[in-house]
Amino acid sequence: MTGAREPDPPTDSPAFSDPPASPASLPEVKAWSPQLALKAMLACAAAFTIPGAGHAILGRWIRAMLLCAAILGMFAAGLFLFEGKLYTFNPEEPLSIFPVIANAGLGGIYALCAFLRAGFDARPEVPTYEYGNAFLLVAGLLNYLAALDAFDIAIGRKK
């Protein structure tokens, strides 16, 4: 223990002199145009209507099929295998808006279920009822992610 202070590293050492990431290494967002905005909106709308359809419109067929299988699989398992339920907003319980937002991520499927009045009945006597609810909530949230991913691909932020 000499008490001598270590000299500060020179400011031109590699840790300090690394250049910032070059613009070429960052994803390039396409310049805005009405066609691009239309394409992005169409991809998002399709992704909300049918899971995976946004990617299909953009020509990402394998991703589209995988997303469709995963999200529709979760929805089908949640509703039919585990017998969960879709939520509706109850004004007496304001917090019920959150599961509704999650379920509504299923978009067209949620609308179809609402139109057919199917899947909204609670069956708490079924042992897997809570699992079913979790599957339905997560399926909707995953579809939000898929729609945002389709948007990113449409505007060129992602390949």
Partner 1 sequence: MHLLAMTLFALCVSTVFAIVTKEDPREQFRYAVKAFFAFLGIALAIGWLMYPFS
Q: Name residues whose C-beta falls within 8 Å of residue 71's C-beta, 6 or more positions apart in sequence.
A: 51, 52, 106, 139, 142, 143, 146
For 74-95, the DSSP string reads HHHIIIIIS-------BTTBGG
Stretch that binds partner 1, among 2-10, 37-45, 112-120, 133-141 (CB under 8 A): 133-141
Residues 29-88, interacting with partner 1 (CB under 8 A): 62-63, 66-67, 69-71, 73-74, 77, 82
Minimum CB–partner distance for residue 127 and partner 1 (Å)? 8
CA distance linking residue 41 with residue 34, whole number of Å: 10
When binding is defined by CB under 8 A, the residue of 58, 107, 149, 151 that contacts partner 1 is 149
Measured CA to CA, the distance from residue 51 to residue 46 in angstroms comes to: 8
Candidate list 103, 146, 151, 154; residue touching partner 1; CB under 8 A: 146
> Contact positions toward partner 1, by CB under 8 A?
62-63, 66-67, 69-71, 73-74, 77, 82, 127-128, 131, 134-135, 138-139, 142, 145-146, 148-149, 158-159
